[in-house]
Chains A and B, each alone.
Chain A
């Protein structure tokens, strides 16, 4: 078999093999059982003591959300001002300038929300201080926020729990000290030993083979890249992200980083099984997610390995597959596989230029983000999935003639209202955002903005449409990857995607936590013979159908005018 295929199969199997024990470990951590990382406990106690927090105080779902939103707001303000004044702050050896207010707004929102839609390049528009103490800090806490919110939902799913849903700060801190920090440490060490810079020195000056002088950006990058992958953040040190030879020097680092992208997201699904002692349910959820994931991987890998038909029509053979925008050290299969993993998980780091990929790959990547719950971002992926479970439970409960119930609680009008709104929100912000962009582009192409709308797109027609659709899908899914062909660092895109990012982050956290909290307060109904079991393959098919149909129906017309039209045009 082609070694490229062996490579990606190995990456996937290794990910799952690591995710299962990691899931078990995560469940243990949050159940308060003994683990070998208990030596972190004094550090946690110190943090709580310093902050005056009682980590044993039980919170209800409203208190959880209040804590979550408050602390996120504080981070947002802190980030915004740091970026706005970074030029004057310390640790700026390259003398990079401060960010403009709209860019700082977009970047702050983007990093607080675990999105990392980088409308800037780290080499020129960030300093070592902001990279390390603002952006990397957010890499940790934004991922931890997702995990903490997920833990609230996990806890609420327990039998006979009412409104004692654990402590938000406890979840938040433990997510970092027991999971993100140790895991990132391991990844960072591997990256550093493979050549990723870990230096506080400014740009290096190198004389190239042609004799010209090149200034090469460096910095303490390895640490940031590790957490960017494990925390499904995706915001890299350098502008070209993991396609950059410093961020992702070789195939080994590519394997390690690619495993890191999926690892925690998958592990959390298994953690659910161990935490609630419902391993079968975890496997059903994992199965549904995996089927969805593989359905995206196959066409994308096939399309990239098969090469570009437009080039083939010119009579040029492409033995290496479609290589435009790809790194030779990774090849088309590993690039396509990465492209899918980074979009299913809301990670958004790239090791190849998505803009240059085949329309089928582009469609698969956008579809991943439109669904945003096949594995999904750490914590939040499951929250999105939870909404689909609720809808699937509701419809299938009716189909078997019983008032729908999930985890022993009846699903009624209030929960359906929230679930419908959240399910509706995602298509709403993507489609409305894109339609706004196309409207401006068609009707005001030459309006006197700094960047005229007519200059937004590098590509005309279908591909240009895809660039815009992708940008909004990526923002709404808090993914952060983008089509480089779109000129996005201007007021229109910074502000519109900033708002989409905000809405796309916090409402899909509030919704599931609220539903879970409301359900937990309801009367617990023990399972009986008439209960529809949710841990069966049949129910898995039902969830899959709901996800696929909701996403497919919402986005089919838009996808038709973008990648589908492009695909059939170049065929």
Chain B
């Protein structure tokens, strides 16, 4: 037990180190690729999708013409000055396309590293019952192949025959092998993983090039990337701001004519480019891609960008109790013999009855009996008959050749056996049963030859740290719901202990579905995690359905995310990734617009102070000259984009401190900061530019 957890932690640590290595923001080859991509993305037809940067590109094009014109005519300022403005505007667009390209490159690299695990491997294809060696890329949907000990699984599929232990560390990073078998909910295998033992027949479930990973890569590459509803709404707002500044700049021309103030085209375009929200406009698509990329880094494959966004809005999470909230299954925690029975006798009987019992509960009784304070060590006598648990008897047990009939089972079924035989049910056992049940445990009453010996307490072990995670979710405004097959009393106890907000007890598959529908009718967004085929309808119904990679193909098709780690608590990370995505957009929009205040104080006095000396009073930054002021503002406007790329890629940190407090915090950092930083930045740039010109 202890060892197991230590091991898991160690594995986790290794994984974290692996991830942090990948997290180095700029890797040489990615930067090179992004750099060349950033030129391709300058194509106006591609850039058109981004109205803000598209207008900057037009501005740059106009400046190019003005620059050439200024070679022959001095009316629009010197050639050098115009050229400088042109170069800066060009760089502004280039920085934006680079931001998008680097986000893509990172996402692709991440996806590629996963794809590498599934390079061409030989596959043993079954054709009319005969084996045939083909390459994995030739496998089509519906083909059946065989894998044996030591084989790499060539592609995603579903086991149709056999059971095997499989090393999935290439995908999940977990070194502990997992068991996959036909039928049931653990029948799915992933390409690139390795069979460690046994032999399985697998049916291919995806066409080549259509696996989730392929889809994800296509999504990141932009070929099939669609703007999410929220991204569209923001783009509209930004286009609105851009239009306002088109109006401001165009109407300024007749105003300036009235005031007898000539304004150069370079100054007009600089003012315009500085005012439109280029910072967010330049980083918007990078932020979206980075969101999917972060999901991938958490080993979650998303089928659409929208799913990530929706995750940030989730109101309700449906979590399975077993494996998510509690560790595996119930475990025996205590033996309570009745009066007159020695503890040793009782434990011995318990262990005897459980030795042949393969259920996790049975195993845990043996474990506690052999390793607990009584330390019994018995063997099942030759010729004993094991009585299996049935729903009818609700008990199991052992009949030895020596005439011992040991039974353990639910309180009322064992009591019936005992009373039928004319025995009384001891009051102290009944008392213990009540205490155990009210503590959320499951009492197992044990009888020998129809006489009650005592009661075993089975308890769920709640995962350490899970309560804190739920608390964090609660602060995010997400309600957690535990789904369990337990009776309502036990469910309630565990729910309270783990700190979940609600529970579905004695849950049948359709209960999940109904609960999701009910929540959705109340306007809530619901997420659930599932692996079984019977989870598929609920996964499809949920707003965010996360299928475990180990789950059935049906489950994976139904959900909109696939978790490669099969980690049920992953939903929490997914919610945070979704929130980070929206927050990064919001904060950078605020920052971008707040920047305009300082840019106005740089450019507006520069435009007018020669012809209207009184307006020198507006030059509160005391910038060197009108030209240096304009240059400093556009330079600041350009370099802020690459400076914020790391933030766009990493995302703004989410803190579960409540919506209002978070708004306050982000307003202070990005709103107030957005007003102040450019004042400092532009002044500093002006100090340098002032020396140069």
Residues of A bordering B, CB below 8 Å? 391, 394-403, 408, 411-413, 415-417, 419-421, 423-424, 427-428, 431-432, 434-436, 438-439, 441-443, 461-462, 465, 523-526, 528-533, 536, 538-539, 541-542, 545, 549-550, 552-554, 556-558, 560-561, 564-565, 568-569, 571
Q: How far is the CA of A413 from the CA of B583 in the complex (A)?
A: 18
B590 pairs with A395, CB closer than 8 A: yes
Q: How far is the CA of A395 from the CA of B604 in the complex (A)?
A: 27
New contact pairs (17) apart from A399-B586, A412-B229, A531-B477, CB-CB < 8 Å: A395-B237, A398-B582, A399-B667, A401-B654, A420-B241, A423-B244, A431-B251, A432-B247, A434-B251, A529-B477, A553-B275, A553-B600, A556-B600, A557-B600, A557-B604, A558-B251, A568-B615
Q: How far is the CA of A431 from the CA of B252 in the complex (A)?
A: 9
Nearest B residue to A429, CB-CB? B247
B604 pairs with A401, CB closer than 8 A: no
A-B residue pair count with CB separations less than 8 angstroms: 216
Residue B56 interfacial (CB < 8 Å): no
Which residues of chain B come closer than 8 Å to A524, judged between CB atoms?
Answer: 523
B587 pairs with A553, CB closer than 8 A: no
Contact of B236 among A416, A436, A465 (CB under 8 A): A416
Nearest Cβ in chain A — how far from B286, in angstroms?
16
8 A-B pairs in the complex with CB atoms less than 8 angstroms apart: A394-B234, A394-B237, A417-B236, A424-B247, A432-B251, A443-B257, A525-B523, A531-B477
Nearest Cβ in chain A — how far from B152, in angstroms?
41
A525-B524 CB under 8 A given contacts A403-B309, A420-B240: yes
A416-B233 CB under 8 A given contacts A398-B582, A401-B580, A528-B479: yes
The 8 closest A-B pairs by CB, nearest first: A530-B477, A398-B586, A401-B579, A420-B240, A525-B523, A399-B586, A568-B614, A435-B251
Residue B662 interfacial (CB < 8 Å): yes
A427-B248 CB under 8 A given contacts A401-B654, A565-B608: yes
B259 pairs with A423, CB closer than 8 A: no
A465 pairs with B666, CB closer than 8 A: no
Binds A, one of B63-71, B217-225, B591-599: B591-599
B247 pairs with A413, CB closer than 8 A: no
Which residues of chain A come closer than 8 Å to B579, judged between CB atoms?
Answer: 400-402
B666 pairs with A400, CB closer than 8 A: yes
Nearest Cβ in chain A — how far from B589, in angstroms?
6
B259 pairs with A549, CB closer than 8 A: no
Nearest Cβ in chain B — how far from A241, in angstroms?
29
Contact of A549 among B254, B315, B593, B615 (CB under 8 A): B593
Q: How far is the CA of A436 from the CA of B253 in the complex (A)?
A: 11
Nearest Cβ in chain B — how far from A527, in angstroms?
9
A400 pairs with B663, CB closer than 8 A: yes
Nearest Cβ in chain B — how far from A22, in angstroms?
31
A536-B255 CB under 8 A given contacts A395-B586, A525-B524: no
B479 pairs with A401, CB closer than 8 A: no
Residue B485 interfacial (CB < 8 Å): no
Residue B45 interfacial (CB < 8 Å): no
A423-B614 CB under 8 A given contacts A530-B477, A549-B597: no
Nearest A residue to B664, CB-CB? A538
Which residues of chain A come closer than 8 Å to B236, judged between CB atoms?
Answer: 413, 416-417, 420
Which residues of chain B come closer than 8 Å to A427, judged between CB atoms?
Answer: 244, 247-248
Which residues of chain A come closer than 8 Å to B312, judged between CB atoms?
Answer: 401-403
Residue B475 interfacial (CB < 8 Å): yes
Q: How far is the CA of A394 from the CA of B582 in the complex (A)?
A: 11
Residue B135 interfacial (CB < 8 Å): no
Q: How far is the CA of A560 from the CA of B275 in the complex (A)?
A: 16
A interface footprint on B668-693 (CB within 8 Å = 1, 0 otherwise): 00110000000000000000000000
A526 pairs with B523, CB closer than 8 A: yes
Residue B474 interfacial (CB < 8 Å): yes
Nearest A residue to B654, CB-CB? A401
Residues of B bordering A, CB below 8 Å? 229-230, 232-234, 236-237, 239-241, 243-245, 247-248, 250-259, 261, 271, 275, 309, 312-313, 315, 474-479, 522-524, 578-583, 585-587, 589-590, 593-594, 596-597, 600, 604, 607-608, 612, 614-615, 617-618, 654, 658-660, 662-664, 666-667, 670-671
Which residues of chain B come closer than 8 Å to A396, judged between CB atoms?
Answer: 586, 663, 667
Nearest Cβ in chain A — how far from B606, in angstroms?
11
Most chain A Cβ neighbours within 10 Å, of B239, B251, B261, B671: B251
Q: How far is the CA of A420 from the CA of B236 in the complex (A)?
A: 7
A431 pairs with B477, CB closer than 8 A: no
Q: How far is the CA of A541 from the CA of B524 in the complex (A)?
A: 28
Contact of A565 among B257, B597, B615, B671 (CB under 8 A): B615
B233 pairs with A538, CB closer than 8 A: no
Which residues of chain B come closer than 8 Å to A438, judged between CB atoms?
Answer: 254-255, 257-258
Q: How far is the CA of A526 from the CA of B522 in the complex (A)?
A: 7
Which residues of chain A come closer than 8 Å to B259, judged between CB atoms?
Answer: 461-462, 465, 561, 565
Which residues of chain B come closer than 8 Å to A401, judged between CB atoms?
Answer: 312, 578-583, 586, 654, 662
Nearest B residue to A391, CB-CB? B237
Q: How far is the CA of A558 from the CA of B607 in the complex (A)?
A: 12
Contact of A398 among B474, B478, B583 (CB under 8 A): B583
Nearest Cβ in chain A — how far from B209, in angstroms?
32
Q: How far is the CA of A553 from the CA of B248 in the complex (A)?
A: 9
Nearest Cβ in chain A — how far from B270, in angstroms?
13
B233 pairs with A411, CB closer than 8 A: yes
Q: How far is the CA of A541 from the CA of B587 in the complex (A)?
A: 15
Contact of B232 among A413, A531, A558 (CB under 8 A): A413
Nearest Cβ in chain A — how far from B450, in angstroms?
55
Nearest B residue to A431, CB-CB? B251
Nearest A residue to B617, CB-CB? A568
Which residues of chain B come closer than 8 Å to A432, judged between CB atoms?
Answer: 247, 251
Which residues of chain B come closer than 8 Å to A423, judged between CB atoms?
Answer: 240, 244
Nearest B residue to A524, CB-CB? B523
Q: How far is the CA of A423 from the CA of B244 in the complex (A)?
A: 9
Which residues of chain A come closer than 8 Å to B230, judged between CB atoms?
Answer: 398, 403, 412
Nearest Cβ in chain B — how far from A390, in angstroms?
10
A439 pairs with B257, CB closer than 8 A: yes
Contact of A400 among B253, B309, B662 (CB under 8 A): B662
Q: How far is the CA of A539 from the CA of B664 in the complex (A)?
A: 8
Q: How far is the CA of A119 from the CA of B678 in the complex (A)?
A: 45
Which residues of chain B come closer than 8 Å to A556, judged between CB atoms?
Answer: 600, 604
Contact of B614 among A412, A554, A569 (CB under 8 A): A569
Nearest A residue to B474, CB-CB? A529
A442-B258 CB under 8 A given contacts A396-B663, A431-B248: yes
Q: How far is the CA of A461 from the CA of B245 in the complex (A)?
A: 25
Nearest Cβ in chain B — how far from A222, in angstroms?
43
B597 pairs with A552, CB closer than 8 A: yes
B663 pairs with A565, CB closer than 8 A: no
Which residues of chain A come closer than 8 Å to B474, judged between CB atoms?
Answer: 529
Q: How far is the CA of A462 from the CA of B614 in the complex (A)?
A: 12
A399-B660 CB under 8 A given contacts A416-B233, A528-B479, A529-B475: no
Nearest Cβ in chain A — how far from B673, in angstroms?
13
Which residues of chain A come closer than 8 Å to B614, judged between CB atoms?
Answer: 565, 568-569, 571
Q: How far is the CA of A529 from the CA of B245 in the complex (A)?
A: 38
Q: How far is the CA of A415 from the CA of B233 in the complex (A)?
A: 8
A557-B523 CB under 8 A given contacts A395-B586, A530-B476: no
Which residues of chain A come closer than 8 Å to B229, judged between CB atoms?
Answer: 412-413
A557 pairs with B252, CB closer than 8 A: yes
Nearest Cβ in chain A — how far from B649, in angstroms?
17
A413 pairs with B233, CB closer than 8 A: yes
Q: How far is the CA of A438 from the CA of B236 in the complex (A)?
A: 31
Nearest Cβ in chain A — how far from B591, in angstroms?
10
Q: How far is the CA of A441 from the CA of B237 in the complex (A)?
A: 34
B252 pairs with A542, CB closer than 8 A: no
A539-B660 CB under 8 A given contacts A554-B248, A561-B608, A569-B614: yes
Nearest Cβ in chain B — how far from A75, in angstroms?
31
B659 pairs with A402, CB closer than 8 A: yes
Nearest Cβ in chain B — how far from A70, in angstroms?
30
Contact of B255 among A403, A465, A568, A571 (CB under 8 A): A465
Most chain B Cβ neighbours within 10 Å, of A413, A419, A439: A413
